[in-house]
Amino acid sequence: MKIQKFKTLPSTNQKAKELAKKGAKPWLVVVAEKQTSGYGKEKVPWFSPKGGLYFSIILPKSKIEDLQTLTILAAFIVAKTIKRNFPLEPLIKLPNDVLIGKKKVAGVLTENIIGKDVKLSVIGIGLNTNVEKFSEELEDMATSLKIELGREVMVNNEKILKKIVKELKEQLKTISE
């Protein structure tokens, strides 16, 4: 698995798109320890301090319907990864978010560049692993694994990332064949 690591990025999705335009191969993973302008759907900011897991994957050229399915599957895979590794009960808010209780713990954003057909696609995932706390405006809407567990997440971010990417790869194979 090819992973490009950054200390800080404005946005991993932006970086992945930039690299894909320059010819980076599918399945390259771009990860940042923190994002300064992380965003979700319709450019709604995604609070991305150090401690969380923020990464994007350059996807192979796929049909738009498959990309939509993959977005849903990504949320499902993130929820499953949380459930398997921690004593927590995540829920999926279709198609993009993973919640614990009523608060967002992870989000998925697929971005495509389309001319007459799909030119390139990236999928970005933000998972609040060891995020200490959220601002007052966010604390009713967002949570982290650390907050929910009441302790530090012992599994490191990279290990979680690898599990998610591996499953996504397998899933895309299933839906696009």
Partner 1 sequence: MLAWSMKTKIKIGEKVYRVEISEIKENLIKVRMDDKDYFFTKNNLGELIPVDARTKDFGVLVEEGEVLWETLAEKEIRSPIAGIISSINVKPGKALKPGQKVATLIAMKMENEIISEISGIIKEIKIKENQSVDAGEVLIVLE
The answer to the question of residue 67 lying near partner 1 (CB under 8 A) is yes
- Phi first, then psi: give them for residue 47, nearest 5 degrees: -60, 120
Binding mask 34-63 for partner 1 (x = CB under 8 A): -------xx---------------------
Q: How many residues bind partner 1 (CB under 8 A)?
A: 19
C-alpha to C-alpha distances, 135 to 88, 110, 141, nearest whole angstrom: 23, 26, 10
> What residues are paired with 30 via a beta bridge?
4, 56
Pick between residue 147 and residue 172 the one whose CB is nearest to partner 1: 172
Binding mask 89-128 for partner 1 (x = CB under 8 A): ------xx------------xxxxxxxxx-x---------
Q: Which run of H or of E encompasses 59?
A: strand 53-59
C-alpha triplet 149, 153, 156: angle, nearest 5° = 160
CB of 54 to partner 1, least distance (A): 17
CB 85 within 8 A of CB 74: no
Pick between residue 42 and residue 177 the one whose CB is nearest to partner 1: 42
Q: Which residues bind partner 1 (CB under 8 A)?
A: 41-42, 64-65, 67-68, 71, 95-96, 109-117, 119
